[in-house]
Amino acid sequence: MAISALQKARAQYSPKLPSSIASGNVKIKEGAATQSVADQDEIKKLFPNTYGMPIVTFENGGGCGKASMPAFNVGVILSGGQAPGGHNVISGIFDGLKSINKDCKLYGFLGGPSGLVDHKYIELTSAIIDEYRNTGGFDIIGSGRTKLEEVEQFDKGIEICNKLGIKALIIIGGDDSNTNACVLAEYYLQKKAGIQVIGCPKTIDGDLKNEMIETSFGFDTATKVYSEVIGNIQRDANSAKKYWHFIKLMGRSASHVTLECALQTQPNITLVGEEVEAKNQTLDDIVNYIAGIVANRAAKGMNFGTLLVPEGLIEFIPAIKKLISELNDMLAANQAEFDKYENVDQKIKFIVDHLSKENAAIFESLPTAVSKQLALERDPHGNVQVSLIETEQLLAEMVSKKLAAWKKEGKFVGKFSTQHHFFGYEGRCAAPSNFDADYCYSLGQVAAQLIASGKTGYMSSVRNTTKPADQWLAGGIPITAMMNMEKRNGKMKPVIQKALVKLDGGPFTFFASKRDEWANNTCYIYPGPIQYFGPSEVCDQTTKTLQLEHK
């Protein structure tokens, strides 16, 4: 295939590894038994075979190198949305397996988890792997959103694994995909199928993290891509001096992407969903806050600015969150009847008639664009598709109305013109930054070592990531240790607990200390494009979030 000059140069990049893995002689060390982060009794009952396993770390075994193990085959699945670095995870798995035994084989299941169920696969050879090293995207084998939740699916997996002689499956995905990996690991142990299952932490949203998973892969690259474009927009805003840019960023369940981009670019206004919820703010509170800053800047002759908002903001507003919770439960119980209505207005009437009086009143008070979106099709978990709510336009319109009212009262003397943006897909398949290239390659190598060590139901872990890569700590964490019970489609299910922005954490407290200054002045930073070649202080820096969390 045709490749760019950058891709040709990136193909020559050799990702850096933790010294314990690079040594080629890995020794495993087991820690204390673990328990789930919440709902211990329920999780233990659901996962009797994989609950309570120890955290493991890898160390340099010393000596003259590790004796070769018998060859074994592994299958890999890319699950869910794309994130920069997925190809390097697979490259790391491939190279890790070949370092264990040159006759090991890696099979890629095509199109996500459905490839396992439908028995669609390819053998990943060195010729294929070499084409995709250090590149963005998931196109090497494709991805998909099929959920591995049914016994019939699990058994179809056993069939193809037995046919190909596969000893272990590696599922590269987010919290839901890795929850499915844990369910699969538990089932295969129960059935004595002889198939291990290992997970790798992927999501650009940044909400799959904890003490052992410091960051999910792709977050670094995606936020750098978004920050470059935000910086470009801020340069334009500061040049033209006539527009307010309302920018929505990916992040349905957590505001990590928005906060990281704010730390990189220093916009005038940044909304953090977790703070909105903690302060019990209403939509009108948010609009007043934005309008106040716009008015203050206008009074100084600055009729321009930038605002960042996470796509999931609406769900963080307590009153609306309560409404959506009841709405999801109500629709889960009445889906067949609800689906009979094709007209949006009929759907809205059905919703109002079936909600409690309090939530029906809130629903009817919402702007038309929001209420209509809440009535539309749900995601696979039965939840509102908040990414389809054009929050950035909604806020711009509401602020415009508020300022018009203030102008009549003499409280606003400036001009207010807006531009709207949504940055999401632009960052999902970017060529990985040096950090993500290294981190992902290490995650893949660690996954191979977890398999060689006989582990199942674990997630690949690489820590100490603010240090040089040779000082990174490699190992694995039992997936059950990250779980709690949550309501999905009206039923309680075990899932990996999402990591929200901590309002007492380093990243947010630093941001909070600076936002008034950023609001009232023009303190923009223009990060520019990702740099792949050059001094380490330019090319190998981690996210501001990681730096502040480990300061």
Q: Which of 320, 322, 289 is nearest to 398 (CA)?
A: 289
DSSP string, 113-163: HHHHHHT-EEE--HHHHHHHTT--SSTTT--B-----SHHHHHHHHHHHHH
Place of tokens 């806020």: 395
Can you tell me the distance from the alpha carbon of 36 to that of 40, in angstroms, rounded to the nearest whole number? 5
Asked if residue 219 lies in contact with residue 207, where contact means CB atoms within 8 angstroms, the answer is: no
Residue 284 C-beta-side C-alpha neighbours within 13 Å: 4
Q: What is the 3 state secondary structure string of 501-535?
A: CCCCCHHHHHHHHHHHHHHHCCCCCCCCCCCCCCC
User: DSSP strand E in 19-144: where?
Assistant: 26-33, 54-60, 73-78, 105-109, 121-123
Question: If you ran DSSP here, which 8-state letter would residue 255 be given?
Answer: -
Does the annotation mark 95 as catalytic?
no
Q: Which of 26-63 are b and which e, b meaning 16 or more Cβ less than 10 Å from the residue's Cβ?
A: bebeeeeebebeebeeebeebbeebbbbbbbbbbeeee
Residue type, 121: Y
**Contacts (Cβ under 8 Å, ≥6 apart) of 224:** 264, 433, 527, 530
**How far does Cα 446 stand from its chain's mean position?**
20
- How far apart (Å, rounded) are the C-alpha atoms in residues 501 and 313? 13
- Looking up tokens 């470009």, which residue turns up? 232
Retrieve residue 350's tokens: 């059905």
Do 480 and 457 meet the contact criterion of CB atoms below 8 Å apart?
A: yes
Report in angstroms the alpha-carbon separations of 489 from 342, 377, 379, 492, 494.
21, 13, 10, 8, 13
* Spatial separation of the C-alpha atoms in residues 73 and 89, rounded to whole Å: 17
- CA dihedral 367→370→371→377, nearest 10 degrees, is 170
Any residues with CB less than 8 A from the CB of 98 and at least 6 apart, and which? 104
| H, E, C per residue of 165-202 | CEEEEEEEECHHHHHHHHHHHHHHHHCCCCCEEEEEEE
Rounded CA gap, 18 and 474, in Å?
7
What is the residue-wise DSSP string for 394-437? HHHHHHHHHHHHHHHTTS--S---EEEEEESHHHHTSPPPHHHH
Among candidate residues 205, 207, 436, 438, the one labeled active-site is 205
Catalytic residues: 205
